[in-house]
Amino acid sequence: MGYVTRLKRTKALGTTVTSSGSSGGSVRRQQVHQHERNQQLNAEDRSVLVPRSGDDAIHHEIRRREKQKAQRPLTRYLPVRGAECDLRQHVESAGHQVELCPHIHLTASSCRGYLHKLGGKWRSWKKRWFVFDRSRRALVYFSDKTETKLKGGVPFQAIEEVYVDHLHSVKSPNPRVTFCVKTYERTFHLMAPTAEAMRIWVDVIFTGAEGYLEFLSEADMAPSRSRHKFKE
């Protein structure tokens, strides 16, 4: 319940109490009712902070993300298809101080840096060198920064969503810097070296999330979906 609605209800109760001053019992009932209502409102406010599990946690996360989506500016939080997009400028305009984050190498068309990726088979975290390349329209990763041994990758059209793992859906050595890249076939869990690096990666990768359902038109959704994916 919004603050304005709550304020109006409080004022309405106050008016009722004043107009019924001739009846002590009525005043008392109004006071009891208002006290109970205040307790209910406080409980609703506290419920946002109470840890959830299972289906309740999932539904809560969906509602939270829908609220965030309604509040965020669309010009920033939509995938960017145009080849003229300056990736570094886009990220800096979002408020990131790229020069203060040595873990990321960001140019007008690419982003590079080490991330830990949770393996799909053995469920262990491995350090990989990631490259987000707007010219090749793909997110790929290598064994190390020499970029000689390609380990896997995913094209932009297969990326549906990118978000911080607030639900702690996997066991991570550092949950606060863990985020997810959701594709058509599965969700990949990545871990950044710092919180700021994670936020930059999320904003960077989302510019290429061409599989984002709200971004695609009916015509875009007609062709068959690509099945490229991370190999590990």
Q: What percent of the chain has pLDDT over 70?
A: 59
Mean pLDDT, the chain, rounded, equals 75
Q: What is the pLDDT of residue 214?
A: 58
Per the confidence metrics, is the pTM higher than 0.85? no
For residues 216 and 178, the model is more confident at 178
Highest mean predicted confidence (pLDDT) among 42-51, 83-92, 169-178: 169-178
Structural element, H or E, at residue 196: helix 195-206
Burial readout 83-96 (b: 16 or more C-beta within 10 A, e: otherwise): eeeebbebbeeeeb
Q: What percent of the chain has pLDDT over 90?
A: 50
Give the pLDDT confidence of 33-76 residue by residue, as tens digits.
455 545 544 444 444 344 455 667 666 666 655 654 554 444 45
Q: Give the whole-angstrom CA distance, residue 205 versus residue 219.
A: 23
Give the pLDDT confidence of 90-131 residue by residue, as tens digits.
999 999 999 999 999 999 999 999 999 999 777 899 999 999
Rounded (10°) angle between helices 24-47 and 3-19: 170
45 exposure class (CB count in 10 Å sphere: 0-12, 13-18, 19+): exposed
Residue 133 · residue 107 · CB < 8 Å: no
Q: Give the whole-angstrom CA distance, residue 129 versus residue 105.
A: 11
Q: How many other C-beta atoms are found inside a 10 Å radius of the C-beta of residue 213?
A: 10
